[in-house]
Amino acid sequence: MSSSTKTANPDLIRVWEETEKNRSLFEREVRNLPLPVKKAFIENKKIAPAGFKPSEEKLAENRDLNRVAEAFPKLYPQTGDRVLKADIANRPLVSGKRVAVLFSGGPAAGGHNVLAGLKKALGPDNVLLGVKHGPKGLLGGSLFEIKEEDLNRLLNTGGFDFLGTDRTKIKNHGQFKLVKAVCRDQRVDALVIIGGDDSNTNAAVLAEYLFENVHADGRGVQVLGVPKTIDGDLQEGALLPISFGFDTATKIYSELVGNILQDTPSSRKYWHFIKLMGRSASHVALEVALQTKPAIAFISEELEEKKLSLHQIVDIICRSVARRAGRGINYGVILIPEGLIEFIPEMKILIKELNEVMADSARLLSELNTMAEKKDFIYGKISAESVKLMASLPHEFENMLLLDRDSHGNLQVSQIPTEKLLIEMVNIRLHEMKVNPAPFIGQAEEQIDLAPEEVERFVKSRFATNSHFFGYEGRCGAPSRFDAAYTFNLGLTAGSLALAGKTGYMAAISALDCGGEALALPLTGLIHVERRHGRDEMVIEKALVETDSPAFKYFLSVRERWAGEDCFSSPGPRQLWGPVAGQLPITVALNQGCAGLDFDLGEETRII
């Protein structure tokens, strides 16, 4: 029979069409998986909310506590810098409470499981309201009830699509009043904000504003945070080892990078410049480097500490390319953290100056029609060094630095093609080195120690490149085994805090390798004073990679070997079910002093 006379089997078509809207064969399976649940949330084999009591755990010393106390006069006396922990002795017996939840900022795997945990903690006697489209939806009053049956669709699936998210910052009086009105009109008793450092700072500000007198009887609205960001830069030592979404994103990137690494000695002809998402901190790049062992992985925090210029970074790459080419290895992988350019001192000054001019003159700039006019205006306001640096950059890159800022006034670094900029600059430098190799060869620190035949091999070698940016690929995948369990327990913690009447706390889980401890971290204890956009602001600081951390020190001890040898590791796809063995992110396990990579967050429990 010819193919034109064949017809598709209608049963197969029907089965296939059912896979639309989060009902793929894969999603159907992952939804049914049991999850580890912490003991504090289990009573008589059923999920139950926990109460809270003071913990002996302490936050790191906060030098700005007095200023925070002044800025949060109502919240601070309640929360201060005192950590709470889940307590099975005082389970809240509450009914009729209405808790609203929203996503804020970029998506991260496991958000849907936070919703599931919240819903389970609240139980059938309380109401969980979903806010559509993040903070913007809150201002517009877009709330709807999340039903038990919604969990059948949500559990263990990736993305934030059930509610949507956005990056609106609720910061002015008009917005605060709107939120108050929405909470009063929709009888919201508690608001849970699932977000990163900025969003949790916002949660603290809202907790202060909504502390009292929202409802007719004088009650306020509780505000709670849940730590989310694939960037992994919302951490608080042992009390909050990592934000959710980091594990899934880094495992997805590690699979992709591992595949590319495996391609390099197979095809033997490309250098791959791979930029990895992570707006500021380089936790993602460090984790992926440890998972995959590339030739070079830049860690922005180290570059900043060493005050390296863009040209010195280019030289590091060129030396490695030449050394490997001398040994006949004409390929390699370079990992570049998304935020790298903001950590190069000269670029940092330039970007800071640009941010300030663009924030201060936003209205004026919006009235200028052409890029040339904008440039003229901006260049007239920044320092001579910055103007010079701007002029030395490739044209495309220069324009990118002038793109509109996000709602927090930050440069949208994910739009800056750093990987392409480096390729362009490395190409030029390698050409210079090949034309006249003598000055580059030798034993001085800035030179390359190559034998004459290696120099010859390098000079004859071809430098072919590919650029990649792995970012959005990793944010919305189904949560890894770790993130699925972690987020469900974070949801249970936040739901319990809501029922326990707490406000101004962020849910956290510590002791990830030994049963987990559900904690409530006081937002007022996490807030510091930081200079942003030319003024002091109260913010939760981003946790950057520390160059004296165990994870970074381990990386330091192995990177020379990775640079010189043709070694790599290809970890394969992330695990979504099966044993919890070997599933912790390696940077987290190293920094937390864990004995292994196994996580332990309680007993496997069927959720739906």
* Site for ligand FBP, rule CB under 6 A: 105-106, 108, 167, 196, 228-231, 277-279, 338, 412-414, 475
Ranges of H-type helices in 461-510 = 481-499
Tell the smallest beta-carbon distance from residue 413 to ligand FBP (Å): 6
3-class SS of residue 288: helix
Nearer to ligand FBP, 120 or 136 (CB): 136
Tell the smallest beta-carbon distance from residue 285 to ligand FBP (Å): 11
Q: Which two tokens stand for residue 328?
A: 């006949």
Nearer to ligand FBP, 239 or 540 (CB): 540
| Radius of gyration (C-alpha) of the chain in whole angstroms | 26
* Distance between CA atoms of residues 154 and 161, nearest Å: 10
Which helix or strand (DSSP H or E) is residue 271 part of? strand 271-276
310-326 and 418-435 helices cross at what angle (nearest 10)? 60
- Given 81, 150, 189, 231, which residue is catalytic? 231
Nearer to ligand FBP, 309 or 414 (CB): 414
3-class SS of residue 102: strand
* Distance between CA atoms of residues 388 and 138, nearest Å: 44
Nearer to ligand FBP, 104 or 496 (CB): 104
Decide: residue 365, CB within 10 A, 0-12 exposed, 13-18 middle, 19+ buried. middle
Tell the smallest beta-carbon distance from residue 539 to ligand FBP (Å): 13
Tell the smallest beta-carbon distance from residue 233 to ligand FBP (Å): 8
Tell the smallest beta-carbon distance from residue 243 to ligand FBP (Å): 8
Nearer to ligand FBP, 157 or 264 (CB): 157
* Distance between CA atoms of residues 379 and 354, nearest Å: 9
Nearer to ligand FBP, 36 or 105 (CB): 105
Tell the smallest beta-carbon distance from residue 153 to ligand FBP (Å): 23
Interacting residues of 451 by C-beta distance below 8 A, sequence separation 6+: 326
Closest CA to 160 of 141, 178, 133: 133
3-class SS of residue 177: helix
Shortest-Cβ-distance residue relative to ligand FBP: 105
Q: How many CA atoms lie within 13 A of 554 on its CB side?
A: 17
483 included as an active-site residue: no
Instruction: Determine the straight-line distance between the first and last CA of the chain, rounded to whole angstroms.
Output: 47
Q: Among positive and negative, which fits the CA dihedral 589, 595, 598, 601?
A: negative
Nearer to ligand FBP, 137 or 326 (CB): 137
Tell the smallest beta-carbon distance from residue 585 to ligand FBP (Å): 16
Q: Facing residues of 508 across strands?
A: 519
Interacting residues of 317 by C-beta distance below 8 A, sequence separation 6+: 296, 334, 422, 426
Nearer to ligand FBP, 109 or 433 (CB): 109
Nearer to ligand FBP, 300 or 320 (CB): 300
Query: Tokens 């009914």 label which residue?
Result: 95
Nearer to ligand FBP, 277 or 484 (CB): 277
3-class SS of residue 314: helix
DSSP 428-455: HHHHHHHHS-GGGBSSSTTSB---HHHH
228 and 245 in contact (C-beta within 8 Å)? yes
Tell the smallest beta-carbon distance from residue 359 to ligand FBP (Å): 17
Tell the smallest beta-carbon distance from residue 229 to ligand FBP (Å): 3
Q: Facing residues of 601 across strands?
A: none
* Distance between CA atoms of residues 606 and 155, nearest Å: 11
Tell the smallest beta-carbon distance from residue 150 to ligand FBP (Å): 23
Beta strand pairing call for 535-540 and 603-605 = unpaired
CA distances from 129 to 102, 125, 143, 216 (A): 9, 13, 6, 20
Q: Which residue type, as a one-letter code, is found at position 333?
A: V
Q: Among positive and negative, which fits the CA dihedral 296, 300, 304, 310?
A: positive
Decide: residue 77, CB within 10 A, 0-12 exposed, 13-18 middle, 19+ buried. exposed
Q: Which residues are designated catalytic?
A: 231
